[in-house]
């Protein structure tokens, strides 16, 4: 009876381990099913926010409002010298924040993962695509709702036309800064997946150039880019956190799959 009891517990444990691991690993396939589940989770996030989340939202809003007070003086100072508006660093910053940049990076990492069966580059490609879609949708909805005039319209930093840009009227889509949102999504995903600390820091240089470029080329107020950067950073951080938490659970499951108490008496 003792031998039978031990064998039965071991077999049951192996069965539970097999089912448990496969169900968790299935969540990390980075496929459309996972994307659908995580998208619903993202949409429902505000209903689950805790005090720290609301604090981040409040600080971001307050920071944007404070930066707005300096928007006009910064623009006046920047517009005195346009000598470098087409320089390589400024143009690189603009290009890095273009809508096609996530597509190019997503494609590059996805192709690499297909050719080499590399799970790491598959994860990066998935996170770039996922975070870019979430951040892009969030930014565009805010642009429509706020309707802030771009600086080059010369209407001033306090000019707002809510819901006037429903037909892609670019003149009133200043806040938040879309290029900077894209740039910080890309840099945050790349930084979070980098292995060394210096690479994690370097990953944000292109995003900083995008921030500067959009203000320098008179496409955005400074507060526009501040809010856009925050949106890109927080959404990309949320996306990467979901996957790293799941990977941590998979790792712990593989190390400690089941605690078994066997009674031999």
Cα–Cα nearest to 37, from 156, 130, 144: 130
Residue 101 lies in a domain: yes
Average pLDDT, stretch 226-247? 93
How high is the pLDDT of residue 259?
40
How high is the pLDDT of residue 165?
61
Residue 186 lies in a domain: yes
Q: State pLDDT tens for residues 153-187.
A: 999 999 998 887 666 678 999 999 999 999 999 99
3-state secondary structure of 106: helix
Average pLDDT, stretch 7-35? 51
Residue 15 has pLDDT above 80, yes or no: no
Residue 65 has pLDDT above 90, yes or no: yes
How high is the pLDDT of residue 82?
83
**CATH number, domain with residue 133:** 1.20.144
Residue 107 lies in a domain: yes
Residue 197 lies in a domain: yes
Residue 257 lies in a domain: yes
- pTM beyond 0.75: the answer is yes
What whole-number percentage of the chain has pLDDT above 70?
Answer: 81
Residue 229 has pLDDT above 80, yes or no: yes
How high is the pLDDT of residue 30?
87
Choice among 20-24, 90-94, 215-219 with the minimum mean pLDDT? 20-24
Average pLDDT, stretch 32-43? 92
Residue 74 lies in a domain: no
Distance between CA atoms of residues 254 and 227, nearest Å? 41
Q: State pLDDT tens for residues 126-151.
A: 999 999 999 999 999 999 999 999 99
Domain ranges, residue 118: 85-265
Q: Name the token pair of 107.
A: 């494609």
Average pLDDT, stretch 230-235? 98
Residue 48 lies in a domain: no
Spatial contact of 208 and 176, defined as CB atoms under 8 Å apart: no
Question: What mean pLDDT, rounded, does the chain reach?
Answer: 85
Residue 152 has pLDDT above 80, yes or no: yes
How high is the pLDDT of residue 83?
85
3-state secondary structure of 14: helix
Average pLDDT, stretch 235-258? 71
Residue 2 has pLDDT above 70, yes or no: no
Q: Name the token pair of 185.
A: 């999504």
Q: Name the token pair of 31.
A: 């496929």
Residue 176 lies in a domain: yes
Q: State pLDDT tens for residues 197-219.
A: 999 999 999 999 999 999 999 99
Domain tally, the chain? 1
Distances in Å between the alpha carbon of 72 and those of 15, 26, 178, 222? 66, 52, 20, 9
Confidence band, pLDDT 50/70/90 cuts, at residue 28: low
Cβ neighbour number for residue 49 with a 10 Å cutoff: 12
How high is the pLDDT of residue 167?
61
């Amino acid at each position: 009876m003792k031998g039978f009891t031990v064998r039965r517990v071991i077999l049951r444990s192996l069965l539970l381990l097999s089912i448990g691991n496969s169900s968790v690993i299935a969540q990390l396939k980075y496929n459309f099913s996972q994307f659908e589940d995580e998208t619903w989770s993202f949409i429902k996030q505000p209903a689950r926010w805790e005090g720290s989340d609301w604090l981040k939202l409040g600080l971001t809003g307050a920071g944007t409002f404070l930066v707005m007070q300096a928007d006009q003086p910064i623009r006046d100072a920047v517009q005195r010298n346009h000598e470098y508006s087409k320089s390589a660093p400024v143009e690189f910053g603009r290009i890095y924040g273009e809508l096609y940049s996530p597509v190019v990076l997503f494609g590059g990492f996805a192709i690499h993962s297909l050719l080499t069966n590399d799970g790491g580059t598959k994860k990066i490609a998935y996170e770039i695509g996922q975070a870019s879609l979430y951040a892009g949708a969030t930014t565009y909805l805010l642009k429509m709702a706020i309707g802030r005039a771009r600086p080059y319209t010369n209407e001033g930093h306090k000019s707002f036309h809510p819901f006037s840009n429903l037909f892609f009227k670019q003149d009133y889509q200043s806040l938040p800064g879309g290029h900077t949102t894209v740039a910080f999504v890309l840099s945050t995903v790349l930084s979070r997946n980098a292995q060394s600390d210096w690479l994690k820091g370097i990953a944000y240089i292109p995003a900083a150039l995008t921030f500067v470029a959009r203000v320098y080329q008179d496409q955005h107020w400074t507060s526009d880019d501040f809010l856009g950067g925050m949106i890109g950073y927080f959404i990309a951080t949320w996306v990467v956190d979901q996957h790293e938490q799941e990977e941590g659970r998979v790792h712990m499951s593989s190390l400690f799959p089941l605690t078994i108490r066997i009674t031999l008496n």
